[in-house]
DNA sequence: AGTTTCGGCGCC
DNA sequence: AAAGGGCGCCGAAACT
């Protein structure tokens, strides 16, 4: 009996399981059982289940009330390992990995499933090629060896384990759902937008604002059509090349105020209005379908419902069940703290070793107390700001925190030159040169092309606001990647630790947004959860970055309504 | 008629 | 004041 077992569907609809030994190879006979829940229930001492895909397997376990302690997601690990090996874009399915191992033709990955309101997953899962358990184990064992060939095997093993844990968390969050009051949501919509008119047209407030805009221009103008608005401004003698808010807000014209207000409310109406409520909220829960590691940087995405873009005003509708609370926890200045941890800059580590406001400390040291300037400088360094006050501020930052700035500068240089860039744990941002242009662009990576000022963008530019060369864009991307991605590494460890604590309680993780987590729990568990978050943050910091003075404090709030946090 | 891209803005 | 990273979503516009 070992504590690590593999699980794979059998061709006839049953399930095969088998114990694994050192090196990840089979350590006993392959057993057949009727369904995965039975298998897991029957082996309570197993601490890690190795399977092809968490998204495929785990929801069915959860549906029968079965949770697992840990898992290893072979296809997710394959993606991370391929990335680390500079083979980003190669098919990542277990079937493809097996084919590469055996030297056969490599099948392409099945197409991505599209979002469908209210769909409860596995029904729509694209049919992946069946991989028998013995073959899956072969892939797994080979992956264990591939970990050893990475730059930092321990970190890479931590990364694949952490992301597998993240996938368990995501599946559990998807099952739990975010407590959502449709009644409060409707009240907020009515307060902001007014009555709805029959026929599904604009609500009252939007219609009024559209009238105000039209009156100001002296003719009928549709405020939701940028082309129409640009033309209307032109006729009023004002040249504007877009209708972005920061551009039109500075214009002195009576249409500006109602126009800006219209755009704000229009956004709420179309993205989080009545039809969103209809589509995405069922039985008092919003289920945004979290997908761990959905982006190249490792940040999560949600598949449908705009789950990570809930507008502040709409958060009023997130309400705990009676007698329960929401523990809302927000990491304080996560990105600069991560930069301190990965760059080992002595000054920044010292500042990040305190729990107090990091931007204030930075500004005390380098910006004579101007916190806003300090924050701008730090974010400018992380994002690769190219103009404005950012450059001046960057110089001050560089003087005080040279290693920190050098770290992101080096990442940017590597990106520009098409070299590999990795997060602290080893998630790899592919150089476009390592893949074909098509696959790179599909993956959201700017294609490797020589700089040339007279070159026109081929078609759709990788980022909006084409303003510099592709190499520079790749540099900014890589610069940000090491920080944002390492922060995502850390966040996975945080979630895994927090999940373990919550496992013994009624508390459930219900929301996660980059550096913010919400736990839904009975009131009497709230203080325990608050402490658990603090402990999890400490543990995640130690596990992820090793010995470091950097602290990762959270601001936590115990509330009945999300909008009341912070 | 169906699919892809664009513009704009929500979140971090 | 201005424009640098990552996403998803929507309707309209631009295509096949």
- What is the DSSP secondary-structure string of A96-122? HHHHHHHT-PPPPPPPPPPP-TT--SG
Chain C nucleotides near the protein (CB, 7 A):
1-13
Strand C: which residues 490-519 of A lie within 7 A (CB)?
Answer: 514
**Amino acid A171 CA to nucleotide B1 C1' distance, rounded Å:** 37
Taking chain A (566 residues) in consecutive chunks of 10 residues, what is each chunk's mean pLDDT? 89 92 95 91 95 95 96 97 92 96 92 54 56 97 97 97 97 96 96 86 92 95 93 92 90 94 93 92 94 94 90 96 97 96 96 95 90 90 79 86 95 92 94 44 44 34 39 90 96 97 96 97 98 97 96 97 93
User: Directed axis angle between helix A153-176 and helix A133-148, to 10°?
Assistant: 130
Strand B: which residues 288-327 of A lie within 7 A (CB)?
Answer: 306, 308-312
Side-by-side strand order, sheet with A281-282: A178-179, A285-286, A281-282
Asked if strand C contacts A243 at the CB level, meaning under 7 A, the answer is no
- What is the DSSP secondary-structure string of A261-321? HHHHHHHHHHHHSHHHHHHHEETTEE---EETT-STTS--EESSTTTT---GGGGGG-BPP
Q: Specify the pLDDT at position A486.
A: 97
Q: Specify the pLDDT at position A386.
A: 76
Q: How far apart are CA A21 and CA A11, in angstroms?
A: 24
Give the closest residue to C1 (Cα–C1′).
A388
Asked if strand B contacts A271 at the CB level, meaning under 7 A, the answer is yes
Q: How far apart are CA A272 and CA A314, in angstroms?
A: 8
**Amino acid A62 CA to nucleotide B9 C1' distance, rounded Å:** 36
Give the closest residue to B8 (Cα–C1′).
A244
Give the nucleotide nearest to A472 (CA→C1'): C4
Asked if strand C contacts A388 at the CB level, meaning under 7 A, the answer is yes
Asked if strand C contacts A306 at the CB level, meaning under 7 A, the answer is yes
Q: Specify the pLDDT at position A384.
A: 86
Beta pairing class for A31-33 and A48-51:
unpaired
Q: Specify the pLDDT at position A1.
A: 57
Q: Specify the pLDDT at position A390.
A: 67
Asked if strand C contacts A44 at the CB level, meaning under 7 A, the answer is no
Asked if strand B contacts A204 at the CB level, meaning under 7 A, the answer is no
Q: How far apart are CA A445 and CA A461, in angstroms?
A: 11
Q: Specify the pLDDT at position A473.
A: 87
- What is the DSSP secondary-structure string of A35-89? -HHHHHHH-TT--EEEES-HHHHHHHHHHTT---SEEEEHHHHHHHHHHHTT-TT
pTM over 0.85: yes
Polymer length of chain A = 566
């Amino acid at each position: 009996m070992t504590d690590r077992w593999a699980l794979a569907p059998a061709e006839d609809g049953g399930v095969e399981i088998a114990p694994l030994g050192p090196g990840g190879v089979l350590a006993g006979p392959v057993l057949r059982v009727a369904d995965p829940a039975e298998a897991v229930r029957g082996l309570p001492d197993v601490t890690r289940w190795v399977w092809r895909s968490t998204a495929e397997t785990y929801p069915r376990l959860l549906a029968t009330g079965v949770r697992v302690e840990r898992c290893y997601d072979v296809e997710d690990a394959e993606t991370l390992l391929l990335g680390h090996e500079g083979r980003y874009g190669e098919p990542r399915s277990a079937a493809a990995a097996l084919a590469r191992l055996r030297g056969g033709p490599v099948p392409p990955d099945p197409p991505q499933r599209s979002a469908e309101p209210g769909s409860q997953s596995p029904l729509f899962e694209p049919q992946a090629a069946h991989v028998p358990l013995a073959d899956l184990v072969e892939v797994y064992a080979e992956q264990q060896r591939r970990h050893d060939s990475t730059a930092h095997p321990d970190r890479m093993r931590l990364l694949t384990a952490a992301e597998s844990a993240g996938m368990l968390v995501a599946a559990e969050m998807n099952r739990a759902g975010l407590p959502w009051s449709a009644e409060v949501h409707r009240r907020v919509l009515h307060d902001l937008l007014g009555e709805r008119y029959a026929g599904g047209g604009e609500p009252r407030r939007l219609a009024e604002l559209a009238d105000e805009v039209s009156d100001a221009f002296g003719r009928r103008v549709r405020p939701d059509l940028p082309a129409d608005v640009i033309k209307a401004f032109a006729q009023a003698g004002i040249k504007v090349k877009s209708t972005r808010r920061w551009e039109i807000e500075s214009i002195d014209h009576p249409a500006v105020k109602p126009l800006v207000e219209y755009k704000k409310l229009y956004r709420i109406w179309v993205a989080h209005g009545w039809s969103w409520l209809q589509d995405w909220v069922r039985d008092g829960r919003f289920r945004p379908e979290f997908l761990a590691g959905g982006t190249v940087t490792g940040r999560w995405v949600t598949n449908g419902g705009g789950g990570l873009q809930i507008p502040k005003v709409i958060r009023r509708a997130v309400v705990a069940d009676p007698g329960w609370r929401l523990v809302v926890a927000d990491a304080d200045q996560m990105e600069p703290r991560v930069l301190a941890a990965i760059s080992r800059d002595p000054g920044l580590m010292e500042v990040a070793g305190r729990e107090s406001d990091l931007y204030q400390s930075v500004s005390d040291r380098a910006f004579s107390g101007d916190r806003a300037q300090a924050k701008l400088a730090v974010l400018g360094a992380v994002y690769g700001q190219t103009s404005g006050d950012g450059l001046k501020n960057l110089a001050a930052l560089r003087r005080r925190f040279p290693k920190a700035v050098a770290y992101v500068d080096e990442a940017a240089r590597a990106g520009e030159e098409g070299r590999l860039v990795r997060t602290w744990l080893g998630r790899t941002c592919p150089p476009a040169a390592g893949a074909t242009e098509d696959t790179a662009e599909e993956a959201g990576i700017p294609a490797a092309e020589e700089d040339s000022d007279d070159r026109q963008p081929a078609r759709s530019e990788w980022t909006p606001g084409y303003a510099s060369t592709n190499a520079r864009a790749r540099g900014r991307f890589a610069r940000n990647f090491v920080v944002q991605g390492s922060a995502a590494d850390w966040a996975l460890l945080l979630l895994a630790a927090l999940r373990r604590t919550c496992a013994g309680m009624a508390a459930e993780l219900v929301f996660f947004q980059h550096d913010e987590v919400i736990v839904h729990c009975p009131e009497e568990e709230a203080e325990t959860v608050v402490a658990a978050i603090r402990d999890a943050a400490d543990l995640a910091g130690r596990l992820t970055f090793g010995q470091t003075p950097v602290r990762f404090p959270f601001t936590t709030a115990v509330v009945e309504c999300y909008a009341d946090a912070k």
